[in-house]
Copies of this chain bind each other. A is one copy, B any other.
């Protein structure tokens, strides 16, 4: 969004800078350190901190260690100033958490979805949200936002443009939820939310260039550049599940053929037939750990194709770190080997030297937590400048 510059904007930018600096290093920084880190004048920091204290977003937590002078007063990000709700919408399941502003999970809910038409899903969401809101502890700001991660493309207005696995098209989800709860709502692609989660609270803390692959009933990916979710690509970029990896492969519901997610997601179970002893990931993981050869073979095959797609993305984005998340991350023990082998074989040495591949640390909660975090960021504000 283009904005004109005035003092209010300057203040927004600096407030944001100070607040997020304190948030990221809660209880370890003094005003003086914040001034050094941000480059802002000490007086400016003092003023902004005073304001943030009044707003109860920051508190003074007590003196720190002196290094030969007056003891610093350490500043604490008051995560309990408010709560947010983070929701992950999956094809057959709705999961939700109540978090504080620091991403700590306070409550968790789980709801099986029998159908996925809009009215049914919306009712289920409303029920879960109401329930979580009621259980929310008493905080200065109360529940300040709702974040939702959706398996599909989302535009900047919170409209679900297209979610093939749900059969949704042009759903004004943000508007619907905001009308119901009178609280700001952020809608994100499920993979983008997961990437945010891992970046801020999980396996990818402080990574600059991250590629997050969400492999579950489909495949999506969230791209972090320079430590931030690439916003312009909201909803569009990262829809990599329909990357074609076999020119004349199987037809896909997307209209194309040979899409990645036909070979490396849970969709493979549909075409695997009776040779496969189970058709869902948790069961297959159990079988594989018991030594079942068919299950292991299935995962090995999926790992190979996962690696092929990951290689494409490495060659395109050259990230520092790749995190594999989503339901399939539970099969890491059987996927990792074959995947890494393919990646090692197919990428240039140039890429390999600085690349690491890991699995999600937040596990199945990553998307919810990331979605909630988007709501936190919306509440706290996040102004910044590009020159």
Chain A positions near chain B (C-beta within 8 angstroms): 1-7, 9-14, 17, 38-40, 153, 156, 161-162, 169, 209, 223, 225-226, 228, 230-234, 236-240, 242-247, 249, 254-259, 263, 305, 308-309, 311-312, 315-319, 345-351, 381-387
Contacts and interface: CB of A to CB of B under 8 A. Distances in A.
Contact of A4 (B13, B209, B386): B13
Given A236-B225, A245-B245, A316-B237, A40 B385 contact: no
24 contacts: A1-B387, A5-B12, A5-B17, A156-B226, A161-B318, A169-B350, A225-B232, A225-B234, A231-B386, A232-B317, A236-B316, A237-B316, A239-B315, A243-B312, A244-B311, A244-B312, A245-B245, A254-B347, A255-B311, A255-B315, A255-B346, A257-B346, A259-B315, A381-B387
B209 A236 contact: yes
Contacts of A162: 348, 350
Contact of A9 (B5, B242, B257, B319): B5
The 5 closest A-B pairs by CB, nearest first: A5-B10, A5-B13, A242-B315, A225-B232, A256-B346
A219 to B, nearest CB: 12
A210 to B, nearest CB: 9
Contacts of A383: 385-387
B242 A245 contact: no
Q: Which of A156, A254, A349 has the most CB of B within 10 A?
A: A254
Contacts of A257: 346
Contact of A230 (B232, B308, B315): B232
A318 B236 contact: yes
B385 A5 contact: yes
A14 B4 contact: yes
A169 B309 CA distance: 24
Contact of A316 (B1, B38, B232): B232
Contacts of A247: 245-246, 249, 258, 263, 305, 308
A377 to B, nearest CB: 11
A385 B3 contact: yes
Contacts of A226: 156, 232, 234
B263 A4 contact: no
Given A225-B237, A242-B316, A245-B246, 9 more contacts: A3-B387, A13-B385, A225-B233, A233-B317, A240-B316, A247-B308, A256-B346, A381-B387, A385-B386
B10 A348 contact: no
Contacts of A169: 350
Given A311-B244, A315-B242, A385 B384 contact: yes
A12 B387 contact: yes
